[in-house]
Amino acid sequence: MPDAAAPESRPFEADVAKLLHLMVHSVYSDRDVFLRELVSNAADACEKLRFEAIETPSLLGDDPKPRIVITADKEAGRLVVEDNGVGMSRDEMAEALGTIARSGTRAFMDRLETAQSKDGSKEGAQLIGQFGVGFYSVFMVADRVEVASRRAGSAEAALWASDGKGAFTITELDPAAAPARGTRVTLHLMEDARTYAERWMLERIVKEQSGHVPVPISLAEAGAEPEQIADGAALWARPKAEISKEEYADFYRGVAGQFDEPALVTHYRAEGRHEYVALAFTPSTPPFDLFDPDRKGRMKLYVRRVFITDDAELLPRWLRFVRGLVDSSDLPLNVSREMIQQSPVLAAIRKGLTNRVLGDLEKLAENEPETFAKVWEAFGPVIKEGIYEDYERQAQLLTLARFRSTASSDGFRTLKDYVADLKENQTAIYYLAGGNPDQLRSSPHLEGFAARGVEVLLLTDPVDSFWVTTAQGFEGKPFKSASQGAADLGAISAPDAADKPATETSPAVADLIAFAKTALGDAVSDVRASDRLTSSAVCLVAPDYGLDRQLEKILAASGQSARGGAKPILEINATHALVAALAEKGASDEAFRDDAVRLLFDEARILDGERPADPRAFSDRLARMLERALR
């Protein structure tokens, strides 16, 4: 009697038809993938033959050049993919095609690795199939598939056939009806898949997904001679020294879908722990989808020249304008081959490629400043996203960044330039964020800085208001907004002492300021005399702690203003003639003084790019002030 505690081992049971249906319709989301899988299998077969022929040259016979031929018959609804590779015997077909997820390529790789371990060979096979399920994607488009194959060096041939519903047949095939060597896959297309027998459709898929496999591909329509549509060469696999500028430009236009010239080409081969080739182009003009809300990159991923996906995050989002590809030799794939695993290999490639592109941009900035200025003009707003998002590279990106400033009317300045020109006793890097450089240059917030010759960065991109809140400063100097908190300009001398802004506050103006605090109430957080104004009467600034004025506006516009938004501070120029006159004349007329204070506040809002809080009340006050002036 068996031991009741002993475990009982049983095999899994499966409905093969349902399993095959699930795999075909769930593993793959894009029907086009079937052709890529067939071409990949054909390329693998040619590569296997190349390796076997090293030991047995007679296998090549009088047909040594590998090829893949696709034949389409639109009228019959039939598509044929044929190769002259290693082929399969009857038993190999039963094992490879009759068992889901048993890959002949995987078995060949295992044998190859065993042989290499014995003879020390370091040459690797350029083989793609690893999981043995790619072939079954044909049942997404075909209701019957036939595979005729003859093993290289064999006189026998066999025919495998299935409707993809759980069963298949294998029969001997008359050698006269079989390929001389290799495999012929015939697809009887479903009614809704007959466009896959159209020449334009096949050419598009091959060029997009399989145009760089290391085997020439030809396409023929029924009764016509095959015409080569892919030459089996990959530009990125060639040495950089052998590729002309024109060839790079042509390839860039094809891979990027743009018509400009690349401003920068990054082409290198990484060897060692991870092997891959990267070919990346920095455009000279912005792509149309540069500010797509998804912020997706457009780098293509290949594995041994076979296209895998254009949806892999091979670069951070702040480099999404870069176009190109990575061809990996050892990146692991998931079972569908439509999405790569988030593996350490991918992370290493991403890090290496990002560092290389960033390094090449730094070299371009140093060696060709005019070219880099155009790149920055086009992509600076996107690169600055990295200052906010990529803390690891923040210092490097700040060094690379270029800015408009009050010290330059038409060109860019670097932070190194800024720090080199710091004034005596200047402890911060000042900036002003807003709409456009011309508008910012006329801002009253800059008057005190201009009087002392202090440079202010003019930040006009929305992302600027965010990265300055996280940046740790540059060379020990923090970033400080010219429209937030106290200007702290008292310690900085004007170039000419006579030009130093006056900061004395008369008793009458001090009384006006005290009245304004009471009259404006909750509309402001404070009213104070300003040391940043020289020619304007008033301005609004943000409190010392909290958000900058521009960031407040951005958040308010998107409905995300924190805690309803911090109340601004109204700064009054105590030495301004208008302020002094209002302070003196309004001392005995509280109604007049109230109108004057509120008009000053509305003036500050207008100078800050806002509308008066109450346009009708503003109009009435202005009318009363004009009437008083005319009496």
- Using alpha carbons, list the distances in angstroms from residue 208 to 204, 213, 258, 324, 359: 6, 11, 15, 13, 30
pLDDT band for position 122 (cuts 50, 70, 90): very low
Dihedral of the alpha carbons of 525, 527, 531, 535, in degrees to the nearest 10:
120
Residue range(s) occupied by CATH 3.30.565.10 in the chain: 16-230
**pLDDT 10s digits, 498-541:** 445 555 788 889 999 999 999 999 999 999 999 889 999 999 99
pLDDT at 131: 41
Cβ burial of 518 (10 Å; 0-12, 13-18, 19+) is exposed
- Residue 498, token pair as written in the block: 């006579």
**CA 575 from centroid of its chain's CA atoms:** 52
Closest CA to 197 of 80, 69, 319: 80
**pLDDT 10s digits, 591-613:** 889 999 999 999 999 998 889 98
Q: Residue 398 pLDDT more than 60?
A: yes
Q: Mean pLDDT across the stretch 109-128?
A: 57
* Helix residue ranges per DSSP H, 164-281: 199-205, 245-256
CATH 3.40.50.11260 fits 402-630, yes or no: yes
- Quote the percentage of the chain above a pLDDT of 70: 85
pLDDT at 288: 85
Mean per-residue pLDDT of the chain: 86
Residues making up the annotated binding site are 37, 41, 83, 88, 103-104, 130-135, 183, 337
pLDDT at 24: 62
Give the C-alpha separation, 130 to 101, whole Å: 9
The class of domain 16-230 in CATH terms is alpha beta
Residue range(s) occupied by CATH 3.30.230.80 in the chain: 235-379
Q: Mean pLDDT across the stretch 408-435?
A: 91
Return the number of other C-beta atoms located less than 10 Å from residue 252's C-beta.
Answer: 24
**3-state secondary structure (DSSP) of residue 95:** helix
- CATH for 235-379 (3.30.230.80, 3.40.50.720, 3.40.50.1240, 3.40.50.80): 3.30.230.80
**pLDDT 10s digits, 337-374:** 445 656 788 889 999 999 999 999 999 999 999 999 99
Residues making up the annotated binding site for ATP are 37, 41, 83, 88, 103-104, 130-135, 183, 337
Residue range(s) occupied by CATH 3.40.50.11260 in the chain: 402-630
Cβ burial of 336 (10 Å; 0-12, 13-18, 19+) is middle
Give the C-alpha separation, 362 to 357, whole Å: 9
**pLDDT 10s digits, 609-627:** 889 989 999 999 999 989 8
Q: Residue 420 pLDDT more than 80?
A: yes
**pLDDT 10s digits, 126-174:** 555 544 567 888 988 999 999 999 999 999 999 999 988 878 899 999 9
**pLDDT 10s digits, 269-283:** 998 888 999 999 999
pLDDT at 486: 85
What pTM was estimated for this model as a whole?
0.76
Per residue, the 3-state secondary structure of 127-150, as one string, reads: CCCCCCCHHHHHHHCEEEEEEEEE
Lowest mean pLDDT across 139-143, 379-383, 397-401: 139-143
What DSSP assignment string belongs to 434-478?
Answer: SS-HHHHHT-GGGHHHHHTT---EEE-STTHHHHHHH---BTTB-
Give the C-alpha separation, 198 to 410, whole Å: 55
Q: Residue 421 pLDDT more than 70?
A: yes
**CA 222 from centroid of its chain's CA atoms:** 43
Closest CA to 578 of 551, 561, 557, 599: 599
